[in-house]
């Protein structure tokens, strides 16, 4: 049951949500690989900043790396979680999306991808069980989201003092809300202190649907 996390706009907490989701899967005993297409997962997870090759290097047009090689790029984070960081800032040449899609469907573990606002090609959409959009009840975010291909899951980060509501999000996008995640200072403090891994279950567990 692999999942891509994406967002129509920056600032919607996509990386923190994707990281927490992967941590919860691993905590439940499900072997999980978290692939970071954006570059912020190590910071969100309280990891040291990697300096070795990562997913962008694996995706390079000149690369011949296979699915197993993808796993060797990863950093074991916990018993059941491996984090594959971004590596190079850019992919050289045409990205090998079809090879990544093949890796997703053949590797015997859940693959979670933090795509952020990165373009998600059809090859990856077809390879995963869910494309999860993370969005706030924000006019600018919803305006962009309304013009995008619909996800299969919708996670709404509920930020207080917004003029729009969670119900408005579902109405605009024409689909049910999968999870409502509160936007709380406790989550920000956990990320800032590098404590998200130890507090993910407490902060996200009651609100996040794992599937």
The secondary structure of the chain as a DSSP string is --EEEE-SSTTS-HHHHHHHHHHHHHHTT--EEEEESSS-HHHHTTPPPP-S--HHHHT-TT----HHHHHHHSEEEETTEEEE---SSS--SS--HHHHHHHHHHSSSEEEEEEETS---HHHHHHSSEEEEEE-S-HHHHHHHTTSPP-SEEEEEE-TT-SS-HHHHHHHHTS--SEEEE--HHHHHHHHTT-HHHHHHHHHTTTPPP-
User: What is residue 22's predicted lDDT score, i.e. its pLDDT?
Assistant: 96
Q: Identify the residue whose tokens are 């790396």.
A: 65
pLDDT bracket for residue 1 (50, 70, 90): confident
Residues 3-204: name the CATH superfamily: P-loop containing nucleotide triphosphate hydrolases (3.40.50.300)
Alpha carbon separation from 24 to 32, 36, 158, 179, 180 (Å, rounded) = 10, 17, 20, 14, 16
pLDDT bracket for residue 161 (50, 70, 90): confident
Which residues, in sequence order, are bridge partners of residue 29? none
More confident residue, 147 or 210: 147
- What is the end-to-end Cα distance of the chain in Å, rounded? 7
Residue 127 half-sphere exposure, CB side, CA atoms within 13 Å? 21
User: What is residue 162's predicted lDDT score, i.e. its pLDDT?
Assistant: 87
Answer whether residue 61 shows pLDDT above 90. yes
Q: Where are the domains of the chain?
A: 3-204
pLDDT bracket for residue 103 (50, 70, 90): very high
Answer whether residue 175 shows pLDDT above 90. yes
Answer whether residue 211 shows pLDDT above 80. no
User: What is residue 13's predicted lDDT score, i.e. its pLDDT?
Assistant: 94
pLDDT bracket for residue 186 (50, 70, 90): very high
User: What is residue 79's predicted lDDT score, i.e. its pLDDT?
Assistant: 81
pLDDT bracket for residue 75 (50, 70, 90): very high
User: What is residue 15's predicted lDDT score, i.e. its pLDDT?
Assistant: 97
Q: Tens of pLDDT along 144-160?
A: 999 999 999 999 999 88
- Of 54, 18, 16, nearest to 189 by C-alpha is 16
Mean pLDDT of 94-122: 95
Mean of per-residue pLDDT scores for the chain: 94
Answer whether residue 78 shows pLDDT above 90. no
> How far, rounded to the nearest angstrom, does the alpha carbon of residue 179 sit from its chain's CA centroid?
15
pLDDT bracket for residue 16 (50, 70, 90): very high
Mean pLDDT of 41-67: 94
């Amino acid at each position: 049951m692999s999942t891509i996390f994406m967002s129509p706009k920056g600032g919607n907490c996509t990386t923190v949500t994707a990281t927490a989701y992967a941590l919860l899967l691993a905590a439940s005993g499900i072997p999980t690989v978290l692939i970071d297409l954006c570059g912020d997962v190590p910071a969100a997870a309280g990891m040291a900043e990697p300096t070795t090759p990562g997913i962008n290097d694996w995706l390079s047009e000149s690369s011949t790396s296979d699915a197993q090689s993808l796993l060797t790029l990863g950093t074991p984070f916990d018993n059941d979680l491996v984090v594959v960081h971004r590596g190079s800032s850019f992919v050289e040449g045409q990205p090998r999306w079809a090879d990544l899609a093949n890796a997703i469907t053949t590797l015997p573990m859940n693959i979670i991808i933090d795509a952020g606002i990165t373009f998600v090609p059809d090859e990856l959409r077809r390879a995963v069980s869910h494309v999860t959009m993370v969005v706030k009840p924000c006019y600018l975010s919803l305006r962009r989201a309304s013009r995008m291909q619909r996800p299969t899951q919708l996670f709404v980060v509920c930020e207080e003092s917004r003029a729009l509501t969670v119900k408005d999000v579902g109405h605009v996008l024409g689909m049910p809300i999968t999870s409502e995640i509160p936007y709380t200072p406790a989550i920000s403090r956990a990320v800032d202190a590098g404590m998200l891994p130890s507090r993910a279950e407490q902060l996200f567990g009651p609100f996040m649907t794992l599937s």
